[in-house]
Structure 1
Amino acid sequence: MRYHTCVLSSILFAALAGAPVLAEDVMLSSLGQTMESCIENSSGDLEQCIGEGAKTCREGLPHKSNAAMTDCIIDEFTFWERQLAIGQASQIVRAEKFEVDRAVIGAPSVDLIDMTRDALNAWRRHRDTSCDVELAYWVGGSGGESVVAQCKLETTAEQAIRLNFGDGWGGKQ
């Protein structure tokens, strides 16, 4: 059974990141509740939550097939991918604000918006390529899909946390 991401966690992330939350996103799930609980109890150490939703999902599986366990990982990856989108949007907004502020004082544009978009896209390509390298070690094996899913979950979660709660780019937000 595939679980859906929990919007309460998205609301928490969005509120902390200053992003809007859509009412249509409000939906609860076991994985989402696990993530929400972990985030609320993390005392700011959000890295400890990476993998917790997938772990709880796997523990609840009646049959521990590779496909079912991979689905759990993919579901948590989807949760973090949404958080990454919020962080990326906040970086674009920061770049836009920076460019407007520069224009107000008559300073030349540094094309920060395009550079930010390029950096975000380059990060995604780096993540995907790095995880493909991990997959190459599993060619012919049955665990490759899980390895790629876990790689993407971890790297996406780390970047989402960095963009939403860390220094992001250009110092504290």
Structure 2
Amino acid sequence: MRRVLAVAVALLGPVSVVQAQDLNFSIAPTQSCLAATADPAARRACAGKAAEACMTNNPGGETTVGMSSCLDQEVKQWDGWLNAAYGTLLSKAQASDAESAKWGTSAPKITPVLREMQRKWIAFRDTTCDFEMSQWGGGSGTGPAGLNCLLRLTADQAIYLERAWLGD
């Protein structure tokens, strides 16, 4: 993710910091969408609602710099939600592994598999977004394409992790 974001920032240049401060971003459209449904497919469709509103409701939001700023802010929100879901799932896995050890079962441990899955997902996400960015040939759409990819895949993983423990 850092590599993808570094490329996006490099493409935007120093002007993005000044213009990004002028944009009014609110995560409320995404939160409202998420609150309206428990269905995973419908929740996935919520990803990007706040960035879209940011791009539409701000002068300059439709520019490459504006789009990138709006997308980046929503990516950060989803990344926080993903980390919270992962932390909850990790705690459940560790508790389950401890309970299994207490009873002396031969059940495979969940915690190491969860950690490995998440590490491999990060590699998948970064490689997928690098591929999507490469299709822009270094053009002005490269940054927004990479951030849109990060947004989509991070939201998907956050929603997956929220429900991963036996459908919780």
The one of 116, 126, 130 equivalent to 2:128 is 130
Once the two structures are superposed, the pairs formed by residues 77-88 of structure 1 within 5 Å of their partners are 77-88=75-86
Q: How has the CA–CA distance of structure 1 residues 172 and 43 changed in structure 2, closer, same or farther, with 3 Å as cutoff?
A: closer
**Which consecutive unaligned segments of at least 5 residues does structure 2 have?**
1-19
Could you say which structure has the greater relative contact order, defined with CA pairs below 8 angstroms and 6 or more residues apart?
Answer: 2
Cα distance in 1 between the residues matched to 2:102 and 2:159 = 32
Residue 36 of structure 2 corresponds to which residue in structure 1? 41
Q: How has the CA–CA distance of structure 1 residues 54 and 146 changed in structure 2, closer, same or farther, with 3 Å as cutoff?
A: same
CA shift at 1:41, angstroms? Answer: 2.5
The one of 87, 92, 99 equivalent to 2:97 is 99
Residue 56 of structure 1 corresponds to which residue in structure 2? 53
Residue 120 of structure 1 corresponds to which residue in structure 2? 118
CA shift at 1:81, angstroms? Answer: 0.5
Does residue 32 in structure 1 map to residue 27 in structure 2? Answer: yes
Residue 23 of structure 1 corresponds to which residue in structure 2? none
CA shift at 1:89, angstroms? Answer: 0.9
Cα distance in 1 between the residues matched to 2:128 and 2:86 = 20
Percent identity (aligned): 26
Once the two structures are superposed, the pairs formed by residues 2-17 of structure 1 within 5 Å of their partners are none
CA shift at 1:98, angstroms? Answer: 1.5
Q: How has the CA–CA distance of structure 1 residues 50 and 116 changed in structure 2, closer, same or farther, with 3 Å as cutoff?
A: same
RMSD: 2.2
**Which consecutive unaligned segments of at least 5 residues does structure 1 have?**
4-28
How many residues are paired up? 146
Residues 45-89 of structure 1 deviation map (CA, whole Å, 9 limit, x = unaligned): 312211101100001121232011111011111111111101111
Normalised by the size of structure 2, how large is the TM-score? 0.78
Does residue 89 in structure 1 map to residue 87 in structure 2? Answer: yes
Normalised by the size of structure 1, how large is the TM-score? 0.76
Residues 108-150 of structure 1 deviation map (CA, whole Å, 9 limit, x = unaligned): 4634222211111110111011110111111231100100000
Q: How has the CA–CA distance of structure 1 residues 118 and 92 changed in structure 2, closer, same or farther, with 3 Å as cutoff?
A: same
Query: What amino acid does structure 1 have at the position aligned with 2:55?
Result: R
Given that 1:42 and 1:48 are in contact with CA atoms closer than 8 Å, whether structure 2 keeps it comes out as no
